[in-house]
Amino acid sequence: MIDALKKTLFAGLGATVVTAEKIESALQEWVEKGKLTSDEAKATASRISEESKKEFEEAQSSLKELFDELLQKSPVVLKKDLDALIQRLDDLEKTVAEHSHKDS
């Protein structure tokens, strides 16, 4: 499942790179045709890049929330929860052993 999520994220990144290249190419064409100045093209590319980054981060955050929600609903025990349970069991065993020695 994690591999599928990674592949989805990487596919999104790949699409972002391809889109950025297409945007830069289109902006360059507009500069060559005189529809935009070089500075306007740079500003537009920068704005689009920042907006894309923001959207990607929001999508990544939403995906993480969804993944965490799915984990909470699944019959899977998280390592941190298992480690905490093992620690509690160890503590209880020590307490029982201490009380057993006192009673003897």
Contacts within 8 Å (CB) and 24+ apart, 30-39: none
Q: How far is CA 10 from CA 53, 64, 70, in A?
A: 14, 15, 21
Q: How confident is the model at residue 97 (pLDDT cuts 50, 70, 90)?
A: very high
Q: How confident is the model at residue 2 (pLDDT cuts 50, 70, 90)?
A: low
> DSSP character for 75?
S
Q: State the Cα–Cα distance between residues 94 and 63, nearest whole angstrom.
A: 42
Give the model confidence (pLDDT) of 72-86 as tens digits: 888 888 899 999 999
Q: Which two tokens stand for residue 43?
A: 């500003």
One-character DSSP codes across 29-72 = HHHHTTSS-HHHHHHHHHHHHHHHHHHHHHHHHHHHHHHHHHHH
Q: State the Cα–Cα distance between residues 61 and 41, nearest whole angstrom.
A: 30
5-16: average pLDDT: 61
Q: Please, what is the average pLDDT of the chain? A: 80
Cα angle, residue 46 at apex, residues 41 and 50 outer, rounded to 5°: 150
